[in-house]
Amino acid sequence: MLAAYDLVWSSVTVVAFGLAVWGIVSLSRGASRLSSATALVWALVILLVPVLGPVSWLLAGRRAGVART
């Protein structure tokens, strides 16, 4: 039987992976309004900073790419 910490770490891993996938999909949908360099930097942040990268993109990055009128 699995120990409680195995279940916790497995859950954390699944959540981190899900956030990364969600962040990359969101980035790819909105990449047309970002420069190539900006999109590349965000992709690297999303992939290399496990939880904070995708969360920062979802909270701040999507709004930063929107054209202001």
Report the C-alpha gap between 21 and 42 in whole angstroms: 13
Domain contains 1: no
The total of structural domains in the chain comes to 1
Residue whose entry in the numeric block shows the structure tokens 């899900």: 18
In a domain, 17, yes or no: no
Q: Tell the residue number behind the tokens 């009128």, with chain if given.
A: 69
For residue 57, give its domain range.
36-64
- Let me know if residue 20 belongs to a domain: no
Domain for residue 31, yes or no?
A: no
pLDDT in the model for residue 69: 41
Q: What is the per-residue pLDDT for 66?
A: 53
Please check whether residue 8 lies inside any domain of the structure: no
Q: Residue 2's pLDDT is what?
A: 67
Which parts of the chain register pLDDT below 50?
A: 68-69
What is the structure's pLDDT at 64? 66
pLDDT value for 11: 93
Quick one: pLDDT at residue 1? 60
**Residue 15 domain-assigned?**
no
Q: Is residue 13 part of a domain?
A: no
